[in-house]
Amino acid sequence: MTSKRDLADTPFQAPEHLLAIAPYVPGKPMTALERELGISDAVKLASNENPLGPSPAAVAAIEDHLGNLHRYPDGACHDLTQKLADKHQLAPEEVVLGNGSDEIIGLLAQTLLGPGDEAIIPSPSFLMYEIAVRSMGASPRFVPLKGLAIDLDQLAAAVGERTRMIFVCNPNNPTGTAISVSAMQAFLDQLPADVVVVVDEAYIEFASDPNCFNCLRDGRGDPRLVALRTFSKAYGLAGLRVGFGVMAMALNDLLHRIRPPFNVNSLAQVAAAAALADDVFLNRSVELVHTGLRQLRADLDNLGLAHHPTQANFFLIDVDRPADLLFQQLLQHGVIVRSMRAYGFDSSIRINVGLPEENARFISALKAVLAEA
Ligand SMILES: Cc1ncc(COP(=O)(O)O)c(C=O)c1O
């Protein structure tokens, strides 16, 4: 990160609240590792992507649209918005599309926060919440997880005069825990009327527990709730960058005022619309994750490593040694995972479920590394 000293020679004063931000460090790209090791078959299980690739229907839609790239996208994302509204029985005026749900997180912070305001964030959770909050000069108030689960009672207890929003990641990244419908209702009952609760459901399609709260199904009619969804995970379109938020029309109207006019590119719009209709691909993606989780759990049990239940397409493994070291050692075997040290779990890694052969590569690399030790 650029330090204050690095900026001393520049003609402008670096804002203090921006210097407090640690830049987001994404999972290591496969191409980078392949370049470094001179290999062409790296396996990446570090960014919770869909190992099946994109939906074939999305690829076909992109091919059909290539001849229109000289035109600006539809700034209103009319067709995609309508299709989302139809699928989830929403008014189009409740939906806002973004360049990934990351962008919606930023737009919500821009809309709701100013200097002196507070946003409550469970910790650890998705790191972009803190960045979005700090970028507005507002203060994050962190509430530690209880075990691996979001502590809703402590989130409610942390609400103060200046609290404007609360982030709830469900299932939580990086721990994979989920919140039940009744727990969420009890939480909402404790909150004031003017605090916005952002429920980030990036992984909701993978949740197999029927009691898991689903904002678009169970959160109807509560104007404090914002649901965030993405096409990056179960829908396999991470590289295109499409996500959306669903919220009360009055809040939605404010986000539309400040979002860039063409924030979702035209290929992303047609691909997401096609992927939305491709239930066969979605179901295959979810099934692949559930089958892979069962196999990986059995393999880890055989290795005697502790791992945690999950409602997402990823889970934590306690590797009983420094996670950063194991991350580096697995890289040497061409396998990219995520060390959880930055999230406060010094001896844990997070992996997402890959294709069966990728999961097997991970397990055999892990065995080799543990044997070397
Ligand atoms: C919990 C959570 N929310 C949001 C995102 C961002 O997704 P998108 O690709 O839609 O920006 C991620 C990505 O990893 C995530 O884990």
Give the distance (Å) from ligand 1 centre to CA of residue 69: 27
Ligand 1 pocket, residues with Cβ under 6 angstroms? 48, 100-102, 126, 169, 173, 200, 202, 230, 232, 238, 243
User: At residue 235, does pLDDT exceed 70?
Assistant: yes
Work out which ligand 1 atom sits closest to the CA atom of 233.
Answer: 9
User: pLDDT-derived band of residue 9, with 50, 70 and 90 as boundaries?
Assistant: low
The CA distance from 117 to 207, in Å, is 33
Exposure string over 170-203, b if 16+ CB within 10 A, otherwise e:
bbbbbbbbbbeeebbeebbeebeeebbbbbbbbb
Of the chain, the percentage scoring pLDDT greater than 90 comes to 90
Block residue for tokens 């000069």: 137
Evaluated on CA atoms 229, 233, 235, 239, the torsion sign reads positive
Test site for ligand 1: of 48, 170, 200, 229, most ligand atoms within 8 A of the Cβ: 200
Distance 23 CA to ligand 1 centre (A): 15
CA angle centred on 199, ends 195 and 201, rounded to 5°: 170
Cα(47) to ligand 1 centroid in Å equals: 9
Report how far ligand 1's centroid is from the alpha carbon of 373 (Å).
Answer: 34
Task: Give phi and psi for 40, each to the nearest 5.
Answer: -130, 10
End-to-end CA distance of the chain: 33
Minimum CA distance residue for ligand 1 atom 12: 202
The whole-angstrom distance between residue 316's C-alpha and the CA centroid of its chain comes to 15
* Domain range 56-277, CATH class: alpha beta
Q: Quote the mean pLDDT of the chain.
A: 95
125 CA closest ligand 1 atom index:
1
Rounded to whole angstroms, what are the CA distances from 268 to 8, 59, 238, 278? 41, 10, 10, 15
Query: Which atom number of ligand 1 is nearest to the Cα of residue 126?
Result: 1
Calculate the dihedral angle through the C-alpha atoms of 49, 50, 51, 52, rounding to the nearest 10 degrees.
-160
CA of 365 from ligand 1 middle (Å) equals 27
Question: What's the 62 CA to ligand 1 centre distance in angstroms?
Answer: 22
Reported as half-sphere exposure (CB side, CA atoms, 13 A), residue 145 has a value of 23
Identity of the residue numbered 147: G
Cα Rg, the chain, nearest whole Å:
21
- Say yes or no to pLDDT of 12 above 90: no
pLDDT at 13: 86
Mutate to test the pocket of ligand 1, among 96, 99, 101 (most ligand atoms within 8 A of CB): 101
Please state the CATH superfamily assignment of the domain spanning residues 16-41+280-372 in this structure: Aspartate Aminotransferase, domain 1 (3.90.1150.10)
CA of 48 to the centre of ligand 1 (A): 9
C-alpha separations of 341 from 47, 170, 312, 352 in Å: 15, 21, 20, 17
Q: What is the pLDDT of residues 307-338, one digit of tens each?
A: 999 999 999 999 999 999 999 999 999 999 99
| Ligand 1 centroid from CA 206, angstroms | 14
Residue nearest to atom 2 of ligand 1 (CA): 202
- Domain spans of the chain? 16-41+280-372, 56-277
Q: How far apart are CA 18 and CA 135, in angstroms?
A: 6
Lowest mean pLDDT among 6-15, 61-70, 131-140, 162-171: 6-15
Atom nearest to 105 CA in ligand 1: 4
User: What is the mean pLDDT of the segment spanning 332-360?
Assistant: 96
pLDDT given at position 24: 86
Phi and psi for 37 in degrees, rounded to 5?
-95, -5
DSSP element (H, E) containing 218: helix 215-218
- Buried b / exposed e across 338-361, counting CB within 10 Å, b at 16+? bbbbebebebbbbbbbbeeebbeb
| Per-residue model confidence as pLDDT tens digits over 253-306 | 999 999 999 999 999 999 999 999 999 999 999 999 999 999 999 999 999 999
pLDDT at 204: 98
Q: Are 187 and 151 in contact (CB under 8 A)?
A: no
pLDDT of residue 4: 54
Of residues 5 and 88, the one with the higher pLDDT is 88
Do residues 240 and 268 touch, judged by C-beta distance below 8 A?
A: yes
Ligand 1 atom closest to Cα of residue 231 = 10
pLDDT confidence bin for 5, thresholds 50/70/90: low
| pLDDT at residue 185, rounded to an integer | 97
